[in-house]
């Protein structure tokens, strides 16, 4: 298993949790992979206790599945889970965008524009991890600037899974095809104009297409020998 390094401060379990979260989102730990506590503890140079605590926190975020007497695994969503997640996004993201427009239009535009610039750089390098990070940053900007802590927190409950699916399943395709990038530029254009009917139509289509991609890629991987 890959050697992991920790950055300061926070509690030990929190540091382990954040590093594991990053590893899952960025594909260092594959979807559905078994997570060996003892191996992780040795890799981090810690006891098994903070590793267990970190895994429990990640289970609450939906990124880890703990099966008593069996082991811990990186989550692997079912088609039904993906459909529900996409439905959630289709409902909540357009509303967050409207609130962000009213609460902090300029700050949201700046954050979205920065994310699109990073997406363009990632496209040039065919760097799917960097593309996934930038894609995530653009969508999260809607919630960071929406001015409603309840809506922001609701999104945070699913944010890790959304980011992991994006980076692991769709970003490798997106960096080979400009469609996703152009759609995100359209999100910014619609947001700047305050055209939330168009924004919502595009969001629903974008999220629905992403869901189909997730299911297709997972099915293709499951069919590999």
In order, the DSSP letters of 101-163 are: HHHHHHHHHHHHHHHHHHHHHHHHHT-HHHHHHHHHHHHHHHHHTSS-HHHHHHHHHHHHHHH
Identify which of 197, 92, 70 has the alpha carbon closest to the alpha carbon of residue 146. 92
Residue 5: phi and psi, rounded to 5, are: -115, 150
Range picked from 13-17, 69-73, 208-212 for highest mean pLDDT: 208-212
Of residues 7 and 54, more confidently modeled = 54
- Domain 79-222 bears CATH identifier 1.10.3210.10: no
Of residues 176 and 91, more confidently modeled = 91
- Residue 174 DSSP symbol: H
As its CATH architecture, domain 12-74 has Orthogonal Bundle (1.10)
pLDDT single digits (tens) 126-137: 999 999 999 999
Q: What rounded mean pLDDT belongs to the chain? A: 92
Using a cut of 0.75, tell me whether the model's pTM lies above it.
yes
Confidence class of residue 9 from pLDDT cuts 50, 70 and 90? very low
- 8 A C-beta contact, residue 47 and residue 41: yes
- 8 A C-beta contact, residue 62 and residue 75: yes
- Structure token pair of residue 113: 């524009």
Query: Which sequence spans correspond to the domains of the chain?
Result: 12-74, 79-222
Q: How large is the average pLDDT for residues 85-103?
A: 97
pLDDT single digits (tens) 200-220: 999 999 999 999 999 999 999
């Amino acid at each position: 298993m890959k050697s992991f390094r920790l950055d300061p401060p926070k509690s030990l379990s929190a540091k382990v949790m954040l590093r594991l979260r990053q590893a899952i989102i960025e594909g260092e730990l594959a979807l559905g992979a078994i997570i060996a506590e003892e191996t992780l503890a040795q890799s981090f140079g810690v006891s098994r206790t903070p590793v267990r605590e970190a895994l429990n926190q990640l289970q609450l975020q939906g990124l880890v599945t703990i099966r008593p007497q069996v082991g811990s695994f990186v989550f692997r969503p079912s088609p039904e889970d993906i459909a529900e997640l996409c439905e959630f996004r289709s409902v909540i993201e357009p509303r967050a965008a409207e609130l962000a427009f009213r609460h902090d239009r300029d700050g949201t535009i700046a954050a979205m524009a920065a994310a699109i610039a990073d997406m363009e750089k990632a496209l040039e390098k065919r760097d799917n991890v960097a593309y996934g990070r930038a894609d995530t940053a653009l969508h999260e900007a809607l919630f960071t600037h929406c001015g409603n802590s309840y809506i922001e927190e609701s999104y945070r409950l699913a944010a890790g899974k959304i980011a992991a699916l994006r980076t692991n399943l769709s970003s490798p395709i997106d960096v080979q095809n400009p469609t996703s990038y152009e759609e995100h530029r359209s999100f910014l254009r619609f947001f700047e104009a305050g055209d939330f009917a168009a924004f919502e139509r595009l969001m629903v289509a974008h999220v629905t297409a992403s869901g189909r991609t997730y299911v297709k890629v997972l099915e293709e991987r499951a069919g590999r020998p």
